[in-house]
Chain A
């Protein structure tokens, strides 16, 4: 088994554990490179069929390429797609800095979707190497009834034994690709020939490393116009993956505050 095989086997194990141990599960599909890999892994885990809904919590502000990708592949892959809207920015905590406040719409949309469908488990495609608070995540991460993350009191988790009990009204976040890196995602996407959104590839000296809402996501300087070139670029770059995400950089703890409140 090579490195990608090991990553894949562990992710499949986590997806199957989630499916075996939780009753009402949904996979959060943000249409980006990570959650596309995650859907691919789910199809591997369950032999071509994704046996739970794939939910897109939609801010309405994604790139047109992302919506086109969603509409095409949800059909081609036979997904049970749920599109859930987010409340307007006026409904969100006004003490947050502007970009974070805008992003927090997604947290609120997520809460509404959870209440609507009664999901007790949400599969999310976050990775430890993306961001420092995500690096502290558990694979099965308990959330309170308000969707909050109590980072001071995370349950022990070892030997791939996961805590799966969920109090009424609360839910679990399941993170099948927590142990992957950005380079792993691209190498696997290349190996498995997983479809990609062309925004990740450079045109006119710029490309997106991370895709979010149009108004708070910016491309970085790059000439990488193929995955092989992206992988070469990642070998030497010192620019963090989320450099183009405005909400991470407004204050020292902006992202932590978002995540503690239930953001992905």
Chain B
């Protein structure tokens, strides 16, 4: 007995024939407007029905004493046939002249909206069906709205049961106008509006004499123009981490590339922690590693050049195009749960592979998209949509939906079951710790009052550069200079803060990033309260400094002390270089090349070629130009 057959050992093996585009199409619309009938008719007209199926359907109809019913083809469940409705979404494949089509039949009944969404969310395109007699109904509008929210951009409208309105062109134009208008307000342009009779076949595969006045495409013709949604390779890289595997000596980070592409050697950042690493290899099976770029849609496994802590839910990106992380999101959602979503509710939010608890901070614009009535509400009822503010328990590295659809959508879970979902409209960055029960207390003073006293605005002056470049020396000189002219300057020296506030942190990239974050938070707080916070910290990672700049915003002024490595090592005031050379300071920045000089900053100084006084004058000129220091003390008090 031959059990070891493999395809290559079998005779006559040849390559697969040419690829045809495969398009998933969902059929949606109001209950009883004829979705399942159209599907049955489409299968019949494209010669896609299996042998004996037609006879079987006839027999089923006869047994029930009913006229022939196309919908029995898909409504496979007894309950569905008994009640004549589609309960759950189903899929069936057929071929048009130019396409392989996966047809998704979605229920129209309001009670089964969750099943309609389950079907429609997988589709590249949609066919929206309208009964010519009944016209545009609640569910038609609701489905139109949800297609727009689900990101289905290609919509073909069919106006069915034309036989019931005597194939009236006027009736067709009336409905066509109404639905075009509705879809256009949602930002969707229908690819075609087609008059048909699904039962009789008019307009499905051929335009019959009964709709002789119609000159557009048939349904089959319209389906042949729809295109599959392409993977988002052109967007910035987003790789949500699914899991870390260690089945052998490799530590593989596994996930699907949702957008962009990656290749071995790429520098990446792991969000939201902000840790930096390089991709060492892209692992695969049975052949590994693989070379070349891997694009969106691929499920990959990568190894990194260093041991970092990362976990499911992290998002891997390229440093220059990384998503911002936030505890606060603003989203537009649809709600499917029986219990309305209310302000103050605690829910579980999933974005990609990330999950976090979250509270609903605010609800605005809750609306029934079927009735098109918008009203202010503190809750979103079942099958309604609304905009909400979410406070997340752990930070998410999400994107606004318009920037990155794949990393900009979320679902909400209640009791272990998806209860709603929607699009991220915006994220509020820079508010890392913002649980909703913490209310920051504002200062009693106005900025003008401090300005009047100190003759300067609040600012963060951030000195970065190699150890022994002269940062602390300059910072101390600046502190004294500002104090002398009546200002409020505070020195935040990296080493000094490590002795106290940051005493719990080591020198791993994650700890260094946290060290910089805390420095930046303290400095920004002082600056917002009118002080000039002078920070002297090596801060070797450009990305960490970018984070500090995000935290302090416009108040941030970066001074790069660009003294050369040779000069720094020859100075060595703390003996660090000597120790590092002796191998006693493994994480020391300066030996090796892990310092990343700024590409752009407010000022560059070299203490080897410029005396301290001259450097100080440069700094003062920069601060004056940036409206921190005021030449002439302004007497605001005189105006009060």
Using a CB–CB cutoff of 8 Å, the interface residues on chain A facing chain B are 1-3, 5-6, 8-10, 12-13, 16-17, 19-20, 43-49, 51, 64-65, 68-69, 72, 128-129, 132-133, 135-136, 138, 151-152, 154-159, 161, 163-165, 181, 187, 189-191, 193-198, 201, 225-229, 231, 235, 238-240, 252-253, 256
* Given known A138-B118, A154-B88, contact A161–B256 (CB-CB < 8 A): no
**Cβ–Cβ contact B299 & A16, under 8 A:** yes
**Cβ–Cβ contact A47 & B252, under 8 A:** yes
**Cβ–Cβ contact A65 & B10, under 8 A:** no
Most chain-B Cβ atoms within 10 A of its Cβ — which of A45, A187, A194? A45
Within the complex, the shortest CB–CB distance from A77 to chain B, in Å, comes to 11
**Cβ–Cβ contact A9 & B297, under 8 A:** yes
**Cβ–Cβ contact A156 & B115, under 8 A:** yes
* Given known A47-B285, A156-B418, contact A226–B88 (CB-CB < 8 A): no
Q: Interface residue tally of chain B, by bracket?
A: 35 or more
**Cβ–Cβ contact A193 & B416, under 8 A:** no
Report the Cα distance A44→B415, complex, angstroms: 33
B162 interface residue, CB < 8 Å from A?
A: no
* Given known A47-B247, A256-B76, contact A159–B411 (CB-CB < 8 A): yes
B587 interface residue, CB < 8 Å from A?
A: no
Most chain-A Cβ atoms within 10 A of its Cβ — which of B3, B4, B295, B312? B3
Within the complex, the shortest CB–CB distance from B554 to chain A, in Å, comes to 37
Can you list 16 A-B contacts (CB < 8 A)?
A: A5-B298, A9-B299, A16-B243, A48-B247, A155-B417, A156-B117, A157-B118, A158-B411, A158-B418, A187-B16, A196-B5, A198-B3, A198-B5, A238-B51, A239-B50, A240-B50
**Cβ–Cβ contact B3 & A68, under 8 A:** yes
**Cβ–Cβ contact B1 & A64, under 8 A:** yes
* Residue from B7, B243, B301, B418 in contact with A227 in the complex, judged by beta carbons closer than 8 Å: B7
**Cβ–Cβ contact A151 & B77, under 8 A:** yes
* Residue from A19, A196, A231 in contact with B6 in the complex, judged by beta carbons closer than 8 Å: A196
Within the complex, the shortest CB–CB distance from A93 to chain B, in Å, comes to 17
Within the complex, the shortest CB–CB distance from A227 to chain B, in Å, comes to 5
**A2 proximity list for chain B (CB < 8 A):** 19
Within the complex, the shortest CB–CB distance from B172 to chain A, in Å, comes to 33
**Cβ–Cβ contact A151 & B87, under 8 A:** yes
* Given known A47-B288, A47-B301, A128-B91, contact A197–B418 (CB-CB < 8 A): no
In B268-287, which residues have CB < 8 Å from any A CB? Answer: 283-286
- Across chains A and B, the number of contacting residue pairs, with CB separation under 8 Å, is 190
Using a CB–CB cutoff of 8 Å, the interface residues on chain B facing chain A are 1-8, 10-14, 16-17, 19, 22, 49-51, 53, 60, 74, 76-79, 87-93, 114-115, 117-118, 121-122, 150, 231, 242-243, 245, 247-248, 250, 252, 254-256, 283-286, 288, 295, 297-299, 301, 312, 336, 350, 353, 409, 411, 413, 415-419, 421
**A49 proximity list for chain B (CB < 8 A):** 247
* Given known A163-B418, A194-B6, A256-B78, contact A12–B11 (CB-CB < 8 A): no
Within the complex, the shortest CB–CB distance from B6 to chain A, in Å, comes to 5
* Residue from B93, B286, B295 in contact with A48 in the complex, judged by beta carbons closer than 8 Å: B286
**Cβ–Cβ contact B298 & A1, under 8 A:** yes
Report the Cα distance A136→B115, complex, angstroms: 10
* Residue from B78, B247, B288, B421 in contact with A159 in the complex, judged by beta carbons closer than 8 Å: B421
**A51 proximity list for chain B (CB < 8 A):** 247
* Given known A5-B298, A65-B3, A129-B93, contact A135–B76 (CB-CB < 8 A): yes
Within the complex, the shortest CB–CB distance from B539 to chain A, in Å, comes to 36
**Cβ–Cβ contact A161 & B12, under 8 A:** no
* Given known A132-B74, A256-B78, contact A155–B418 (CB-CB < 8 A): yes
**Cβ–Cβ contact A240 & B418, under 8 A:** no
- Beyond A9-B298, A47-B250, A151-B77, 16 additional pairs, beta carbon < 8 A: A16-B299, A51-B247, A65-B3, A68-B1, A136-B77, A152-B79, A157-B418, A158-B411, A158-B421, A159-B409, A161-B411, A163-B413, A163-B417, A197-B3, A198-B3, A240-B50
**B13 proximity list for chain A (CB < 8 A):** 190, 226-228
Closest to B298 in A: A9
CB-based closest 10 A-B pairs: A165-B416, A132-B76, A158-B121, A12-B299, A156-B114, A226-B12, A238-B51, A228-B14, A135-B90, A68-B3
Within the complex, the shortest CB–CB distance from A184 to chain B, in Å, comes to 10
**B114 proximity list for chain A (CB < 8 A):** 155-156
**Cβ–Cβ contact A201 & B417, under 8 A:** no
**Cβ–Cβ contact B10 & A201, under 8 A:** yes
**A225 proximity list for chain B (CB < 8 A):** 10-12
Within the complex, the shortest CB–CB distance from A60 to chain B, in Å, comes to 18
Closest to A51 in B: B247
Report the Cα distance A189→B78, complex, angstroms: 35
Report the Cα distance A201→B2, complex, angstroms: 12
**A72 proximity list for chain B (CB < 8 A):** 3-4
**B50 proximity list for chain A (CB < 8 A):** 238-240
Report the Cα distance A68→B299, complex, angstroms: 33
Report the Cα distance A259→B58, complex, angstroms: 24
Report the Cα distance A180→B6, complex, angstroms: 20
Closest to A191 in B: B16
Report the Cα distance A133→B75, complex, angstroms: 9
Within the complex, the shortest CB–CB distance from B585 to chain A, in Å, comes to 38
**B285 proximity list for chain A (CB < 8 A):** 43-44, 47-48
**Cβ–Cβ contact A45 & B88, under 8 A:** no
Report the Cα distance A1→B416, complex, angstroms: 34
Report the Cα distance A156→B4, complex, angstroms: 42
* Residue from B10, B255, B418 in contact with A161 in the complex, judged by beta carbons closer than 8 Å: B418
**Cβ–Cβ contact A136 & B76, under 8 A:** yes
Report the Cα distance A187→B16, complex, angstroms: 7
**Cβ–Cβ contact A196 & B93, under 8 A:** no
**Cβ–Cβ contact B6 & A226, under 8 A:** no
**B336 proximity list for chain A (CB < 8 A):** 156
* Given known A5-B298, A9-B298, contact A194–B7 (CB-CB < 8 A): yes
Closest to A7 in B: B22
Report the Cα distance A16→B255, complex, angstroms: 8
**B78 proximity list for chain A (CB < 8 A):** 252-253, 256
Within the complex, the shortest CB–CB distance from B454 to chain A, in Å, comes to 53
Report the Cα distance A203→B79, complex, angstroms: 42
* Given known A47-B247, A198-B2, A227-B7, contact A1–B242 (CB-CB < 8 A): no
Closest to A161 in B: B411
Within the complex, the shortest CB–CB distance from A47 to chain B, in Å, comes to 5
**Cβ–Cβ contact B421 & A229, under 8 A:** no
**A129 proximity list for chain B (CB < 8 A):** 91-93
**Cβ–Cβ contact B245 & A46, under 8 A:** yes
* Given known A193-B6, A228-B13, contact A1–B74 (CB-CB < 8 A): no
